[in-house]
Amino acid sequence: MSERRRPTDDGRQPSLPELTGLPREEIDRRWKGQEWHLLPPTPLSPMMHTALDETLTLRVGRGERLPTLRFWQWSGPCVVLGRFQSVRNEVNEEVLRAHNFDLVRRISGGGAMFIQPEGAITYSIYAPEEMAEGMSFPESYAFFDAWVIDALRELGVEARYEPLNDITSANGKIGGAAQARRGGAILHHATMAYQMDGPLMSKILRVGKEKLSDKGVQSADKRVGPLRQQTDLDRDVIIHHLIGHFRARFGLVDDVLSRVELEEARAAVETRFGTREWVYFLP
């Protein structure tokens, strides 16, 4: 297991080769060696989004879809739980329902996402497993997050990667990533806060003192540093820039979700993602 890389004594952030254990040329080769397809923001329900993440990961693993970058468009507010979180420990369900939030669970681990459609920027990367070859899980998080940090910095946002899976800044956490591995492929997805209703988040999400103690802050909403604090750019403009950055750097073929993919995801909502069993019970 690799050591966690911290800023060096002179405050320098570790380089990506240092964070991943891979030489720069190898990092570039792995990204540029794939034909990346783009699925632009498409409004879907939170449950469809989480189901689609599994569907598309499996399809990439089977070679039925090429590696893909997908941007999400949220059709309504929700909380998305990580695979190993318990409902009772993480949300005040009565408050959540009173505010008409959906409650869904994703296939990747990590923490609870508090989502209001215009307040969040979410994307998924579906990649073949060989892209992470030779890296530990922590190293692979740095590997898959690096491009978006570079793209944000181009916009003048002071963003940096912080192990294990945070995209952060001096103002607080911008976003976080999560990863799942299925059928020979990797799902690496991230959500960033564009703007945040901190008080509402504090009412809906339960964040105990233990979680806050390591970060040295008093309350949950102060931990978040939404992008809006650092830029006047519209959310759509930021998304457009992220896509443009990825396209310029690694290439992107414009693509759409197929009917079969949507049907598979809908079936997965029926049989799994929409069931009480999935949302309320742990593996």
Partner 1 sequence: MHGEYKTPGGKLVIADFEVEAGHLRQVMISGDFFLYPDSALASISGALEGLDASLSEAEYADRIRAGMQAGAQLVGTSPEGIAIAIRRGLVDPA
> How many other C-beta atoms can be found within 10 angstroms of the C-beta atom of residue 247?
15
How far is residue 32's CA from residue 250's CA, in Å, rounded to a whole number?
5
* Cβ atoms 219, 202 nearer than 8 A: yes
Tell me if residue 178 falls in helix, strand or coil: strand
Least CB distance to partner 1 at residue 156 (A): 28
Using rule CB under 8 A, residue 4 touches partner 1? yes
Least CB distance to partner 1 at residue 248 (A): 31
Which string of x and - marks every residue 115-154 that binds partner 1 (by CB under 8 A)?
----------------------xx----------------
Residues 178-207 that bind partner 1 (CB under 8 A): 178-179, 181
Size of the site for partner 1 (CB under 8 A): 27
Using rule CB under 8 A, residue 277 touches partner 1? no
Residues 74-93 that bind partner 1 (CB under 8 A): 82-86, 89
Using rule CB under 8 A, residue 210 touches partner 1? yes
Using rule CB under 8 A, residue 43 touches partner 1? no
147-172 per-residue burial string, b: 16 or more CB within 10 A, e: under 16: bbbebbeebebebbbbbebbbbbebb
Residues 257-276 that bind partner 1 (CB under 8 A): none
Least CB distance to partner 1 at residue 78 (A): 17
Pairing of strands 113-115, 172-182: unpaired
97-118 per-residue burial string, b: 16 or more CB within 10 A, e: under 16: eeeebbbbbbbbebbbbbbbee
Least CB distance to partner 1 at residue 28 (A): 26
Which string of x and - marks every residue 102-121 that binds partner 1 (by CB under 8 A)?
-----xxxxxx---------
Tell me if residue 161 falls in helix, strand or coil: strand
Max Cα distance, the chain (Å): 53
* Cβ atoms 71, 243 nearer than 8 A: yes
Interacting residue ranges for partner 1, rule: CB under 8 A: 4, 82-86, 89, 107-112, 137-138, 163-164, 178-179, 181, 208, 210-211, 213-214, 282-283
